[in-house]
Structure 1
């Protein structure tokens, strides 16, 4: 699939790793764990794996709870002596993650250019509310759309169809911007144009085709859309 800017009327954004930097959670771990990097990586990986499994076995719970369970597993797996209160303090960093530098100006360009921006996220509503407030982008977004509304996580096609219905946009007129490879694939499978934001110079996954567009900042997307 090649990117067709003429078809785009609405732009949706993932939240974590796309708008805000989840690597900042490692700093909270570093205050309580001797070697935070492997714990952080396992935490993030298990958090996503839990959502994939939950979709298949009908075991939905809000993402904040999934994330808590994943953190507990990562701590246990690395033998970290951390109390439940300390664990919850680490987890709470998800309410105040650092926003990437290009986010506000990039979304503002898109909005001023006539595109309606939404967030479509696995995060539950409370997480998204605090993320938007901390990132200071509430005035730029039309709305946030949570997996919690249908109790189904990405990359299930249902969440993208739900997002299209909530935005009132034909699904093939939506460009979905995300740092998650599985999210790109889910969006494209459902009928959106998948835009992969690759800020780290990563390799693309070698199966099921390419993203419609790969960018390294929101400014690139604004340029592609001519705004």
Structure 2
């Protein structure tokens, strides 16, 4: 099933009254009722519009839509894996900085862990209230990680999880930086120079890379900090 929303209506929403462009949302779910229901809900949110929906990632990407956020069901009937789907969505939307959120019932922790390690921006339960879903989508577009209790529990149960062994100072720097502070703000709070903070961040990235938990961007660092309970 594939459905694309009227682009002219989206453009009109973004121009009307000088408002900013709507957040373009994509949905991947193989239950038609879920797609229809979530599309109706999201399209009632001010500043948001579902611009594409499909039962598979392949079908979604076959359309011409550009997405700010894609809500991805982790267990699809086509047999695809969360890792493959996340990588395809992020690669295809790299120029547009598409962010992927696991949209799930949460009953399969293994799938949640696989999605986390593939680089999703967090997890939303399908049973959440419309208001929580709206706030989660907005937060995702700001580069925040949606770290729910289900998300944290799934990661804590990962027996293959490897500790990066950060020092106390590195943990403090990461906690502040991942919480949204700039390098300058972290430096001021810790009474050190900005260059010292940047040196710490380089070492932190190196420690995570050494254990296979790469963190090249600030979003990745936020995810690593959330996984380690620092934010």
Instruction: Tell me if both proteins adopt one fold, taking TM over 0.5 as the criterion.
Output: no
Higher relative contact order (CA 8 A, sep 6+): 1
Using the size of structure 1 for normalisation, the TM-score is 0.30
